[in-house]
Amino acid sequence: MRKPFENIDVEEVFAGYSEPVRAALMKLRALIFETASKEGVGRIEETLKWGQPSYLTPETKSCTTIRIHEDNKYDGDFALYVSCKTSLVEEWRQVYPTLMFGGNRSVHFSLKGEFPIDAVRHCISMALNYHSR
Q: Cβ distance 88 to 127 under 8 Å? A: yes
Q: Cβ distance 127 to 82 under 8 Å? A: yes
Does the pTM of the predicted model rise above 0.85? yes
Domain-by-domain residue ranges, the chain?
Answer: 8-132
Q: Cβ distance 99 to 107 under 8 Å? A: yes
Chunked mean pLDDT (size 10), the chain, 133 residues: 91 97 97 96 96 96 97 84 96 97 94 94 98 83
For 8-132, which CATH class?
Answer: alpha beta
- State the Cα–Cα distance between residues 129 and 60, nearest whole angstrom: 10
